[in-house]
Structure 1
Amino acid sequence: MNVQKSYSQRGGLSASTIKWFAVFCMAIDHIAWAFVPTFSAVGIVMHAFGRITAPCMCFFLTEGYVHTHDIRRYLLRMGIFALLSWPCFVFFERGPGIWALEPGMIWSLFFSLLAITAVDRLKGPVPKMLAVAGCMLATLVGDWPLFCVAFTLVFWLERGQFYRQAAGFAAAAVLMALFYASDNATQAVSPRWFFLQLCVLLALFPLSRYNGTRGDERHPKCNKWGFYIFYPAHLFLLGILRYFVFV
């Protein structure tokens, strides 16, 4: 199948436009975690927007993998920013002077990229499955554990077939919502958390408009480095506001 043609038939948003929209949604979500009661009307709306971010980033990991000139440099860049973001994420989540094994979203995205690299390049089903399992386990300490890898694999395996991507993603999203919304002690599902997690399906709206282009070629460096820099920077700033300004 001509992937570029199938993308062009689906609409008119570039990768850059969708990714920056996802970044905006992420910022809204983190502002809500810091300052808005979770299940207030405003909180639910803000967190619903925040569910859009992770699936979009997983989707564009697969596009980045296809178009990168050097996968080792791509992985190195993500790995470095995963480590740099770690203290910022912990500071935002827990406050100053606290350390925890919570490296954040870029950590999980790094292992998601590593998973599709393994699936694409390793020979034989057993090495592929072991590599994917290892990557999924590594995300247990990160943000969006397990399902960040799952979403990325769905988008990778069905790349260029949007309706198949959407169906696979929707199935994974339901499993994720059940998993994240289950009480560890009773295994009962919280309806409010289930609904909130299921809002990841909102990501299908902007992704359905992806036209297969990178977009905004006037500022390629901004598009390349913007998310990596914005992620730890906005967490650090929100942490400052949360613990030192609005206390």
Structure 2
Amino acid sequence: MTDMATNKRGLTNFDIKVLGITLMFIDHFHEMFAAAGAPNWLDWFGRPVATIFMFLSVEGFTHTHNQKRYLSRLLIGFWVMGVGNLVVQHFFSMGNFGLINNIFSDLFIGVLTMYGIQTIADGHRTRRIGQSILGIVIILIPLVFGGLILFLMGSHAGLFSKVVMLAVPTPITAENSFFLYLGPLMYLLRKNRNWQLLAIAVFALLSTGFNFSQLLTTNTQWLMVLAVIPLAMYNGKLGRSMKGFFYAFYPLHIWGLYIIAVLLGVKG
């Protein structure tokens, strides 16, 4: 396979998104109905999902005509999801089960970091040190707010820390924690697909903690490596768009599954 080559065969961006949301739905079905007997192996289907969408965020950031608008959509998605989770749980309760899903957090931080890297590169190319410093600041913003959250939690300022968590995406509160930086790494490797796939494999290995006795039991995150299969088949074509559908599907299917589980009497 030639590096970043495009051809008519293989999977388009749209095809990979459809695959991603299908696997995501299965994973979240397991999440909401595990207490009702949904088998644990359904969880395996969801492990490649975040990696798939991190890769797609690299494609989105690289090819969008308006990077700031792309970032703003992800940030708005984060806010909508965070507030929506609270509203849904206010009216529906599944015992001790907390509705905390918000992949927009991971994607926003990843894309913001890509924007920072691009800003540093532009400053280096134009020999504008101020621009390079700005890029570093951009990258550090989520980390600084993450540190602020930890400080507030340690100082018993619980309410204010919750407000910050709702307002600003940070690696501390993201679904994939610091593993979200796989996205920016794939951005740095964007000119070589094979290196991107290798980076995924390395992160999958790191996710095991080198404790191979728990594979497929308590630690299944390493199955993220399966994302290399569809991504290796990506042909670089956009395919159909349906942008609004994919943005809406994420919160709506999670809230829908959660509400159905509550109405059916599932206890978390």
Could you say which TM-score interval applies, normalised by the shorter chain?
0.7 to 0.9
Specify the structure having the higher radius of gyration (Cα). Answer: 2
Aligned to 2:252: 233
Question: 1:193 is paired with a residue of what secondary structure?
Answer: coil
Aligned to 1:168: 199
Give yes or no for contact 1:101–1:141 (8 Å, CA) kept in 2.
no
What does the per-residue CA deviation read over 1:28-75, in whole Å, with 9 as the maximum and x for residues that have no partner? Answer: 00000111369x89322x211101210111001111111111111111
Seen in structure 2, the aligned counterparts of structure 1 residues 96 and 37 have a Cα distance that, compared at 3 Å, is closer
Question: 1:141 is paired with a residue of what secondary structure?
Answer: coil
Question: Equivalent of 2:218, from 184, 187, 193?
Answer: 193
CA distance in 1, matches of 2:218, 2:134: 35
Tell me which amino acid in the other structure corresponds to 2:50: A
1:177 matched to 2:196? no
Give yes or no for contact 1:62–1:156 (8 Å, CA) kept in 2.
yes
CA distance in 1, matches of 2:262, 2:229: 35
Seen in structure 2, the aligned counterparts of structure 1 residues 144 and 18 have a Cα distance that, compared at 3 Å, is same
Seen in structure 2, the aligned counterparts of structure 1 residues 110 and 245 have a Cα distance that, compared at 3 Å, is same
1:111 matched to 2:109? yes
CA-based RMSD of the aligned residues comes to 3.3
CA distance in 2, matches of 1:41, 1:235: 16
The 5 Å alignment of 1:71-220 reads 71-89=67-85, 96=92, 102=100, 104-122=102-120, 123=123, 128=135, 131-135=138-142, 137=146, 138-148=170-180, 150-178=181-209, 190-191=214-215, 192-194=217-219, 196-216=220-240, 220=241
Q: Deviation above 3 Å: which 4+ runs of structure 1?
A: 87-98, 100-103, 123-137, 188-191
Give yes or no for contact 1:92–1:235 (8 Å, CA) kept in 2.
no
Seen in structure 2, the aligned counterparts of structure 1 residues 153 and 189 have a Cα distance that, compared at 3 Å, is farther
Q: Aligned pair count?
A: 228
CA distance in 1, matches of 2:173, 2:88: 16
Shift of 1:101: 10
TM-score by length of 2: 0.73
Aligned to 2:39: 42
Aligned to 1:25: 23
Aligned-residue identity in percent: 25
Aligned to 1:51: 47
TM-score by length of 1: 0.79
Give yes or no for contact 2:3–2:194 (8 Å, CA) kept in 1.
no
